[in-house]
Amino acid sequence: MASYRKDPAALAALNDLERKVTQESATEPPFRNTFWDHHEEGIYVDIVSGEPLFSSLDKFDSGCGWPSFTKPLEPAHVNEHKDNTHGMIRTEVRSQHGDSHLGHVFPDGPQEQGGLRYCINSASLRFIPKERLEAEGYGAYHALFKNTETSK
């Protein structure tokens, strides 16, 4: 099992938006972020720790302008916390090992898939395409995509 931690080199490499989102719990603009309309197959990992968080197989278009997922890839890597900021009561999600602010989870996702919508900031994620999983140390997740392979 891989060991994940808040990586000082990854922190130093963050751009301003990535730092504000992951370290200061900011929110990036809707519809103007990297993964809101991203459809490639693969997994999304914490930009700071590398821990696997979400799969493209659980991603859906919620219309909110941020990447939305029905469930975490590794539930133990996604912690939930009560968030009373901005005059609302919400459930914040943070990565377990990186302690990065990821976004929020809401009970308005597809009912047939559990009813949850993990609304996640692209700035907290790094995408690993299925073709690169092995090379990047995430080979165990390649099996998720075996039924999505297209024959040529």
Mean pLDDT, the chain, whole residue set: 93
Cα distance between the two ends of the chain:
34
* Assigned domain for 39 exists: yes
**Among positive and negative, which fits the CA dihedral 55, 57, 58, 63?**
positive
So what's the pLDDT on residue 3? 82
The DSSP bridge pattern shows strands 125-129 and 42-46 to be: antiparallel
* Assigned domain for 142 exists: no
Here the CATH number for the domain that contains residue 83 is 2.170.150.20
- Cα–Cα distance for residue pair 95/101, rounded to 1 Å: 7
Determine contact, residues 144/57, Cβ cutoff 8 Å.
Answer: yes
- Cα–Cα distance for residue pair 99/105, rounded to 1 Å: 16
Number of domains present in the structure of the chain = 1
* Assigned domain for 151 exists: no
* Assigned domain for 51 exists: yes
* Assigned domain for 31 exists: yes
Q: Name, in order, each residue with C-beta under 8 angstroms of 68's C-beta and a sequence gap of 6 or more.
A: 59, 60, 61, 62, 109, 117, 118, 119, 120
Residue 148 has pLDDT above 60, yes or no: yes
So what's the pLDDT on residue 150? 54
Q: What are φ and ψ of residue 94, in 5° steps? A: -130, 150
For 122-139, write each residue's pLDDT tens digit.
999 999 999 999 999 999
Q: Two tokens at 133? A: 């999983």
For 19-41, write each residue's pLDDT tens digit.
999 999 999 999 999 999 999 99
* Assigned domain for 145 exists: no
Answer yes or no: 119 catalytic: yes
* Assigned domain for 73 exists: yes
For 51-95, write each residue's pLDDT tens digit.
999 999 999 999 999 999 999 999 999 999 998 887 888 899 999
Domain containing 114 equals: 8-134
Catalytic: which of 45, 93, 119, 125?
119
Quickly count: other Cβ atoms within 10 Å of residue 90's Cβ: 16
So what's the pLDDT on residue 151? 40
* Assigned domain for 140 exists: no
